[in-house]
Amino acid sequence: MLSYTELLAKVYEDENVELILDSLGCHSISYEQCGNLITCARPEGDNKRSVQIKNNEDLRACIQTRGVSGNLFDVVAYINDVSLHDAKSYIMNVCQYNENTKYIEHPLAWLNKVKKKRKSYNFDYNINLLDEKILNQYIYGDIKQYNKDNVSTSTLLEYHIGFDTITQRITTPIYDIYGNLSGVKGRATREQDMDYKFLYLYKTDQSKTFFNYYRAKKYCIAKQEVIVVESEKSVMQAYEFGVYNILAIGCMLLFKPN
């Protein structure tokens, strides 16, 4: 039989909080703080934020207009006017759990504990922007180095991958998180340039963006999953196979040993 703590964790993992609130007759259910807070009104209430539940494994909760605080059990107990024991039975029934139901901790649950300890801070995402017209100076079409790595010409055109005849470099436009052009990276094609295989023809602050972020954001949200790779080319190779929830850091990750 699930303990109280395990039941709360399982309800959270199975994303059943909204199901329970709906079964209680609560209405105007909404997600705030990037999904970290669930709010709603009591069955007979008109305050749409009366009930507030932290959307994590503890499911800490309160009914602000009634001075109720605790967790999801306390909300159910108050609205149904029952004991905590009966509230637990109610939740088990709504979620169709039984005495054989077990809670298996998600393998990435440890990240939630890290998240709780993480300090928040304001970050300035603003970077210098470029006029899209600068991309007109490059040639677009087949690029053999990419085609041989299973990146089609249509995908190259989709990502505006070009070629600069002056520097003899393959050009990759870099966009900020809002989809504005902020830089252009050049990849060397000549042997004499390989000491600087990658350099910026138009420099940008790489630390403030991910390659493909503005395209991938909606897919990452829909799948609740983000795939992070090193190179821009990997993003385009994934695009060929219909994988869109993918970002690139655009540089190598180097770890210095202790």
**For the residues 174-187, what does the mean pLDDT come to?**
93
How far apart, in whole angstroms, are the C-alpha atoms of residue 2 and residue 105? 13
The pLDDT of residue 37: 94
Buried b (16+ CB within 10 A) or exposed e, 135-166: beebeeeebeebeeeebeeebbeebbbbbbee
Q: Express each pLDDT in 33-79 by its tens digit.
A: 888 899 999 999 999 999 999 998 899 999 998 999 999 999 999 99
What are the CA-CA distances from residue 49 to residues 41, 53, 64, 92, 236 (Å)? 6, 10, 8, 25, 43
How far apart, in whole angstroms, are the C-alpha atoms of residue 146 and residue 156? 8
- Kindly list the structural domains of the chain, giving each domain's residue range(s) and its CATH number in brackets, ordered by start: 4-117 (3.90.580), 132-248 (3.90.980)
How far apart, in whole angstroms, are the C-alpha atoms of residue 115 and residue 95? 27
pLDDT-based confidence at residue 103 (cuts at 50, 70, 90): confident
Q: Taking Cα atoms as reference points, which of 138, 175, 180, 172 lies closest to residue 155?
A: 172
| Percentage of the chain modeled with pLDDT above 70 | 89
Whether 255 shows a pLDDT value over 50: the answer reads no
**For the residues 86-109, what does the mean pLDDT come to?**
87
Whether 257 shows a pLDDT value over 70: the answer reads no
Query: Which residues are within 8 A (CB) of 155 and not within 5 positions of it... i.e. 6 or more apart?
Result: 236, 239, 240
The pLDDT of residue 209: 86
0.75 cut: is pTM over it? no
**For the residues 197-217, what does the mean pLDDT come to?**
90
Mean pLDDT score of the chain, rounded to an integer? 89
Whether 253 shows a pLDDT value over 50: the answer reads no
